[in-house]
């Protein structure tokens, strides 16, 4: 679904999970270059191996994106190695669980620091870069943020996570409106629970199956398809949208 041919892609939080899968699928679909930023530099390097084996240009860096100086310097480091960034995917997030009345100031700060401020910093760095690069088919760049259905459905055990994802939906719309005249498209994808190995280990898969009208949790690849669609060359007009991929878990 997502055509990545010739695009230079950067995935923040791409060392594992959905972000790593998006990077791998982008390289399989013709991306010319792949960069990964992650708090875990070793994981970022390992996640690039499939792309490296295909012979495409790769770059990685370890970074704590909660501060602007770190995020901007690391983004520029990747640009220095790859030359340009056509598609930025923001996948970095933490997922704490805590009863709603027990969330501490430190836990609020940690959640918003990574999930909201970090996303803002990398988006801002990308916009400054994309505004200066030559457009392709009138598009200078695409940004895709990973949000969550938790932004739209009550979850008392992770209210702080849900609040951050609602904030990212709003941030996506604000950026989309501001940078549309520059030929930059900004969208988000909101997955429901995925049938990952971690979810199976925690016993969530049966819960996901019961919650979905389709009778199962989504596969990570099914979520990644929509990320690549929004970030790929076939998307030339959609911006400011939040794509919910929930198997009918919620309707929007």
Catalytic residue numbers?
161
Q: Round to whole Å and give the CA distance between 151 and 177.
A: 20
Count of Cβ atoms closer than 10 Å to residue 154 Cβ: 8
Residue found by looking up tokens 């429901």 in the block: 192
Q: Round to whole Å and give the CA distance between 137 and 237.
A: 11
Q: Is residue 148 within 8 Å of residue 90, measured between CB atoms?
A: no
Q: Is 156 exposed, middle or buried (0-12, 13-18, 19+ CB in 10 A)?
A: exposed
Q: Is residue 8 within 8 Å of residue 33, measured between CB atoms?
A: yes
């Amino acid at each position: 679904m997502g055509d990545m041919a010739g695009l230079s892609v950067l995935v923040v939080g791409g060392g594992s999970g959905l972000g790593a899968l998006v990077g791998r699928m982008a390289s399989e679909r013709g991306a010319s270059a792949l960069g990964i930023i992650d708090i875990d530099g070793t994981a970022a390097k390992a996640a690039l191996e499939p792309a490296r084996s295909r012979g495409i240009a790769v770059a990685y860096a370890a970074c704590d994106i909660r501060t602007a100086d770190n995020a901007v310097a690391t983004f520029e480091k990747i640009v220095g190695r790859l030359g340009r960034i056509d598609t930025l995917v923001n996948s970095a997030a933490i997922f704490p669980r805590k009863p709603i009345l027990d969330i501490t100031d430190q836990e609020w700060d940690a959640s918003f620091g990574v999930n909201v401020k970090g996303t803002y910093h990398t988006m801002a760095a990308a916009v400054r870069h994309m505004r200066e690069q030559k457009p392709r088919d009138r598009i200078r760049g695409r940004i895709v943020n990973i949000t969550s259905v938790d932004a739209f459905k009550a979850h008392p055990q992770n209210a702080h996570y849900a609040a951050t994802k609602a904030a990212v939906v709003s941030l996506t719309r604000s950026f989309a409106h501001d940078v549309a005249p520059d030929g930059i498209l900004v969208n988000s994808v909101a997955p429901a629970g995925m049938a990952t190995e971690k979810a199976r280990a925690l016993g969530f898969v049966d819960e996901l199956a019961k919650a979905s009208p389709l009778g199962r949790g989504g596969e990570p690849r099914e979520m990644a398809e929509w990320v690549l669609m929004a970030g790929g060359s076939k998307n030339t007009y959609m911006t400011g949208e939040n794509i919910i991929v929930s198997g009918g878990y919620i309707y929007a």
